[in-house]
Chain A
Amino acid sequence: MSEPLFDREFLRKLEYLNLLSKRLVFGRQQALRQSVKKGASLEFREFREYVPGDDPRSIDWTVLARLNELVVKLFRHEEELHLWVLLDASRSMDFGEPNKFDVARRIAAALAYIGLCNMDSASVVPFSRQLRPGLERMRGRGRVFQMLEHLTDLRADDETDLPRCAQEFVSRVRRPGLVVVLSDLYGLAAGQAALDRLRFFRHELFVIPLADRRELSPELRGELRLFDCETGGHRDLVVTESLLKKYRRRVEESREELRRYCMRYSIGHAPTTTDVPFDEFLRKVLETGGLVA
């Protein structure tokens, strides 16, 4: 019988990460989470000349009385901080040793737990060809076990269609939040299209490309029939050392291109591999402050 995905040790690590996050990230980040939008909070931000359409209730009558000018008083807008973990649950994630999907679920669970503890709400939304039923807008630590149970029951299935899922996501979630995309991100063009869509809707993005070592540097030789575990298709190849070199170079170029894309648009980017323990990975992410841009 296989080991449970979320055992006691995992929960202990979650607590540790939660404490770490309070001290390193969210304690500082909360002050920064003030929206640039002008809103109706109690904190004054600035004055501005009145333009038709402004809420008459925001006119500063005192200024009008003193200076005979119409100015409106603007206050800082405060928003709820939502964490969305988009978890790739396609068949391509069911690969590697340790299993890529298991590692992804552990990372997703850890992020959601931290979100539940520190933010207004947290959601874990699996996706493959389309968004699959998930746990959305969970609030409070009491939802942790429900979330873990849901992730445990989750299976990697179907093919990936990230742009479609992104479109579906932005159509359902109008309010911007912190969106963590946890996927192997095969098909960089499609991935970038999806990220563009999310970015367009002003979501804060954090991308975690997850890969197995054998994906980066496969140990394949000879005349092979390669099966795509996601689509079921195959290709017959004679894998030689020169071909492997080209493959590794191509993978490296793809990852580098994603990194440059994320840097250009200030998207959080933390690639990892399955042989890195999830808690170590998250601790490093939290320490570098990269989780929230």
Chain B
Amino acid sequence: MTFLSPAALWFALVGAGIVALYLLKVKRKRETVPSLEFWRQLLLESQVRSLFQRLKRWLSLLLWLAIAACLVLALGNPVVTAGSIKPETLVIVLDNSASMQAVEKDSGGRTRFELAREAIGRLVAGRPVQGKLMLIEAGARPRVVSGFQNDRRQFLRELRSLKPRIEPGGLGAALAMGRRFAELHPDAKLIVVSDGADAAKPQAGDVLHWKVGQTRDNLGIARIAVRVHRQRGEHHAFVRVVNALAKPVSTQLNVEVDDVTVRVEPLEIAANGAWEKTIVLQKPEGGVLRVAIDRDDALGVDNEAFAILQPIRQATVLLVSPPDSAPYFREALLAMDAFVDRQSSRILDPADYERLGPQRRTADLTIFTDCLPKGRDDARAAVFVNRVPESLVLKSLGPLGATRITAAGDGHPLMRFVNFSGVGLARARQFDLQNGTTVLAKSPAGVPLIFLVESPARRALCLAFDLLDSDLPVRNSFPILMRNAVAYFGIERQGWLPAQFRPADFVELQRPLPAGVKTVTVETRHGGAGTSQGYPARRNLGNGPTQSIGAVKVTIGDETAYCAVNLADESESRIAVAALGDPAAPQIAQSRQLLGLLPWQALAVLGCVMVCLEWGSYHARWTE
């Protein structure tokens, strides 16, 4: 038993006063009567029960002590603690992940989330008034829904205000947050109300787990990914489907591109097993891929998944070079024929380039070697070798001479698979770079030798050394670097948004907005449910249409991009209920069974009953 107001137990000293009053002889009021004859006769009647008469005095004392004890205990507000339940302060973590949206047919078709809210409501209804409550929502990111408070109505209002989410679970982070809050109250108890379908699966012993849900009837798409085979002009879609049931399941997977079924894959999945396949799609023009499991099960949100099939195209590259420098680049471009459109790509000397006029802007990439464009440069993306335009740097610091080169931009797409070990450079030069310039390679002394200058209007890769007198052209790294440049500046230009993300992900644009564009519109693929958001005032676009499974269209200025929103979380699709800690339900049920009526109320009622008994006893106790 725990007392919520232990200070009130000091009132127990009243008991000593009661005993003293009974032990001390109370001075009786004196009255004179003409005769005690009748009083004596009445006393004789009572003496028949003389033993009871003597006991009545002590019974009265015991009654008063019991009354005082009841009232003092009631003031102390005791709470019966069953097992490890100490319900004075409860930190309740409510799992609001996607698996909690599973429909429990045995519970009247309600979702686990609804059952969890009802369970919390019942739990709160049986708590003492002084008991503080906190509610933490465990979605992809933990969120405090209700801070420590003992206003149950407010708590229940905030509980009812919770909306179900289609998010991967984040119980681990929520429990960590709950523990931090629980540490503020030594008597706090952490209760997680969940189905246990979480990747983290915390097993901490200080957590009581109120399980919700029973069903395991679910098949879910756990993963979808698309890659491009440029040589064949194909898209390869990898799909993984998991079976949460403890028995084999046979069904089919429908594959649609732009709402047209292109394939039906039979699914034969073993108990608790998984099905994986790479589906080849001949859709070089691109489109929106949708795969859907043709089965009605408990969790519907993981029965479909989307992916964006980007159009497969080749880049147009202009090589502007004096004739003696061109062969290296020609060989490099030939080595990546899947990336370069040979029909439209050309090798030009500087004079021809100047004569080309507006066609210069049609090229995805222009490579300048040993030369610079004259006048206004129209190239959207360019690679400058040996010579760097003055507009891209602050100033030249003079020659550096021969040197070694080391990669500095690890992880940058331009430096993917590029290895500079053993490469010697000749006639390198030093430049004072502008702010925002990305250094991709440098000398051992830290002098930038390969750097990237990006602005909304123009992007340029600069090689600040003499390429033809260096080792680099004869190394594998050179064609790889050129291939990366073609991909980065041309055909694989980074999208505005990730090709795929989950509903709760923090989504922001991956490229700076073009000049003059202030608004980004996000809407479902076929329009509707759109949101226009000021950008970059709110960088996160992860709300609105991106909170539901499907494909969304993002409009930025005159550009349009597509991306897919998928749950694609195997732990959420495997909805079988798992234990996260000590089972809470039996202990809470036992506590409620023991409590029945809250103890302080029961004690107060008992005290009142005993006061009535003492009142009756007082009237019956008419003689000593």
Cβ of B596 within 8 Å of any chain A Cβ, yes or no, is: no
Instruction: Let me know if A227 is at the binding interface, CB within 8 A.
Output: yes
Q: Check if A237 sits within 8 Å of B34, measured CB to CB.
A: no
Q: Which residues of B contact A4 (CB under 8 A)?
A: none
A222 with B29: CB separation less than 8 A: yes
Which of B90-98, B301-309, B615-623 makes up part of the contact surface?
A: B615-623
Chain A: minimal CB distance from B34 (Å) = 4
Find residues 586-624 in chain B having any chain A CB closer than 8 Å to their own CB: 618-624
Chain A residues, Cβ within 8 Å of B32: 95, 226-227, 229
Report yes or no: B36 in contact with A235, Cβ–Cβ below 8 A: yes
B28 to chain A, nearest CB (A): 4
In whole angstroms, what is the CA distance A239 to B30 when docked? 12
Compute how far the CA of A222 lies from the CA of B33 in the bound complex, rounded to whole angstroms. Answer: 15
Among the stretches A35-43, A111-119, A169-177, A245-253, the one at the interface with B is A245-253
Q: Tell me if B31 and A226 are in contact (CB < 8 A).
A: yes
Determine if A230 is an interface residue (Cβ-Cβ < 8 Å).
Answer: yes
| Nearest-CB residue, chain B, relative to A233 | B36
Whether A236 is near chain B, meaning CB under 8 Å from some CB there, is: yes
Given contacts A223-B29, A224-B28, A250-B41, contact A238 B36 (CB under 8 A): no
Cα–Cα, bound, A33→B131 (Å)? 97
Asked if A225 is at the interface of the complex by the 8 Å CB criterion, the answer is yes
For the residues of A in contact with B, the DSSP-based class is mixed
Neighbouring B residues of A230 by C-beta, 8 Å: 34-35
Contact with A along B27-67 (1 / 0, CB 8 A): 01111111111111111000000000000000000000000
Considering only CB atoms, which chain B residue lies closest to A93 in the complex? Answer: B34
Residue in A95, A243, A247 whose CB lies within 8 Å of B34: A95
A149 CB contacts on chain B under 8 angstroms: none
The residue on B at minimum CB distance from A242 is: B619
A102 located at the interface, meaning its Cβ lies under 8 Å from any Cβ of chain B in the complex: no
Residue of B with least CB distance to A223: B28
Query: By the criterion CB–CB under 8 Å, are A243 and B622 in contact?
Result: yes
Nearest CB of A to B425, in Å: 116
CB neighbors of B among A71-107 (8 A): 92-93, 95-96, 100
Q: How many angstroms between the C-alpha atoms of A237 and B28 in the bound complex? A: 9
Assess whether A220 is interfacial by the CB under 8 Å rule: yes
B204 interfacial contact with A, CB 8 Å: no
B37 to chain A, nearest CB (A): 5
Bound Cα distance A212, B40 (Å): 19
The yes or no answer to B184 lying at the interface (CB within 8 A) is no
CB of B34 within 8 A of CB of A212, answer yes
**B20 interfacial contact with A, CB 8 Å:** no
A229 touches B30 (CB 8 A): no
Q: B28 to A239, Cβ gap below 8 A?
A: no
Check if B33 sits within 8 Å of A227, measured CB to CB: yes
Q: Which residue of B lies closest to A247 (CB)?
A: B38
In chain A, residues 233-267, which have Cβ atoms closer than 8 Å to a Cβ of chain B?
Answer: 233-243, 246-247, 250-251, 254
The verdict on B26 contacting chain A, using a C-beta distance below 8 Å, is yes
Inter-chain residue pair count (beta carbon < 8 A): 91
Q: Are A100 and B34 in contact (CB under 8 A)?
A: yes
- Residues of chain A contacted by B33 (CB below 8 angstroms): 95, 215, 218, 226-229
Contact indicator A251/B30 (Cβ below 8 Å): no
Chain A residue nearest to B46 in the complex (CB): A243
Count residues of chain B with CB under 8 A from any CB of chain A. 24
Chain B residue numbers with a CB within 8 Å of A222 are 29
In the complex, chain B residues whose CB is within 8 Å of the CB of A247:
38-39, 42
Query: With A and B bound together, what is the CA distance between A31 and B621 in angstroms?
Result: 60
Contact B619 A224, beta carbon cutoff 8 Å: no
CA distance A215 to B38 in the complex (A): 10
CB pair B34–A236 under 8 Å, yes or no, is no
- Cβ of A290 within 8 Å of any chain B Cβ, yes or no, is no
Q: Is the Cβ of B34 less than 8 Å from the Cβ of A226?
A: no
A229: shortest Cβ distance to chain B, in Å? 5
Q: How far is the CB of B39 from chain A (nearest CB, A)?
A: 6
Q: Give complex CA distance A34, B621 in Å.
A: 59
Please determine whether A220 and B31 come into contact, CB atoms closer than 8 angstroms.
Answer: yes
Q: Once bound together, how far apart are the Cα atoms of A228 and B34, in whole Å?
A: 6
Residues 428-477 of B at the A interface (beta carbon under 8 Å): none
B42 and A225 form a contact (CB under 8 A): no
| Min CB–CB distance B53 → chain A (angstroms) | 11
Asked whether, in the complex, the Cβ of B31 is within 8 Å of the Cβ of A225, the reply is yes
Is there contact, CB below 8 Å, between B30 and A235?
Answer: no
Q: How far is the CA of A238 from the CA of B620 in the complex (A)?
A: 9
Are A254 and B622 interface neighbours, CB within 8 A?
no
A56 contacts B by Cβ under 8 Å: no
Cross-chain contact B623 with A238 (CB below 8 angstroms): yes
Task: Give the chain B neighbours of A212 by CB distance below 8 A.
Answer: 34
**Contact of A235 with B34 in the complex, beta carbons under 8 Å:** no
* Interface residue from A92, A187, A224, A241 paired with B31 (Cβ < 8 Å): A224
Nearest chain A CB to B398 CB, angstrom units: 117
**Bound-complex Cα distance A220 to B33 (A):** 10
Report whether B34 and A184 are in contact in the complex, using a CB–CB cutoff of 8 Å. yes
A246 pairs with B42, CB closer than 8 A:
yes
| Closest Cβ–Cβ distance, residue B255 to chain A (whole Å) | 94
- Taking the nearest CB of chain B, how far is it from the CB of A91, in angstroms? 8
Chain B hits for A239, CB < 8 A:
622
Query: Are A186 and B35 neighbours in the complex by a CB distance under 8 Å?
Result: yes
Residues of chain B with a CB closer than 8 A to A237's CB: 39, 43, 622-624
Is A224's CB under 8 angstroms from B624's CB? no
Q: CB-CB < 8 A to B31: which residues of A?
A: 220, 224-227
* B36: A residues at CB distance < 8 A: 226, 228, 231, 233-235
- How far, in whole Å, are A186 and B29 apart by their CA atoms in the complex? 24
Determine whether the beta carbon of B621 is less than 8 Å from that of A226: no
Verify B30–A250 contact, CB threshold 8 A. no
Give chain B residues whose Cβ lies under 8 Å from the Cβ of A96. Answer: 34
Q: Which residues of B contact A220 (CB under 8 A)?
A: 31
Given contacts A224-B29, A225-B30, A246-B42, contact A238 B622 (CB under 8 A): yes
Q: Which residues of B contact A226 (CB under 8 A)?
A: 31-33, 36, 39
Q: Which chain A positions have C-beta within 8 A of B40? A: 235
A residues 164-216 with Cβ under 8 Å of B? 184, 186-187, 212, 215
Q: How far, in whole Å, are A134 and B397 apart by their CA atoms in the complex?
A: 155
Q: State how many angstroms separate the Cβ of A194 from the closest Cβ of chain B.
A: 15
Say yes or no: B35 contacts A228, CB within 8 Å.
Answer: yes
Contact B622 A242 (CB under 8 A): yes
Contacts of B42 in A (CB 8 A): 243, 246-247, 250
* Chain B residues with CB under 8 A of A233: 36
Q: In whole angstroms, how far apart are the Cα atoms of A92 and B34 in the complex? A: 5
Of listed A215, A218, A223, A226, residue having the most chain B CB within 10 A: A226
A241 to B36, CA, bound (A): 18
- Complexed CA–CA distance, A225 and B623 (Å): 11
B150-167 with Cβ < 8 A to chain A: none
CB nearest to A251 among chain B residues: B38
Query: In the complex the two chains form, what is the Cα distance from A184 to B40 in whole Å?
Result: 17
Contact in complex: A92, B35 (CB < 8 Å): yes
Known contacts A215-B33, A223-B26, A235 near B619 by CB under 8 Å:
no
By the criterion CB–CB under 8 Å, are B38 and A187 in contact? no
Contact A187 B37 (CB under 8 A): yes
Q: How far is the CA of A144 from the CA of B618 in the complex (A)?
A: 56
Give CA–CA (A94, B485) in the complex, Å: 133
**Known A226-B31, A235-B43: A240·B38 in contact at CB below 8 Å:** no
Who on chain A is nearest to B29 by CB?
Answer: A224
Known pairs A238-B621, A240-B618; A225 contacts B28 (CB<8 A): yes
What are 13 residue pairs bridging A and B, where the CB atoms are less than 8 Å apart in the complex? A95-B34, A220-B31, A223-B29, A224-B28, A225-B28, A226-B33, A235-B36, A237-B622, A238-B618, A238-B624, A241-B619, A242-B619, A243-B622
**6 closest residue pairs by CB, A with B:** A243-B622, A92-B34, A95-B34, A186-B35, A225-B28, A228-B36
Told that A236-B28, A238-B623 touch, could you supply 13 new A-B pairs with CB distance under 8 A? A184-B35, A222-B29, A223-B26, A228-B34, A229-B33, A233-B36, A235-B36, A237-B623, A238-B621, A240-B619, A242-B619, A242-B622, A243-B622
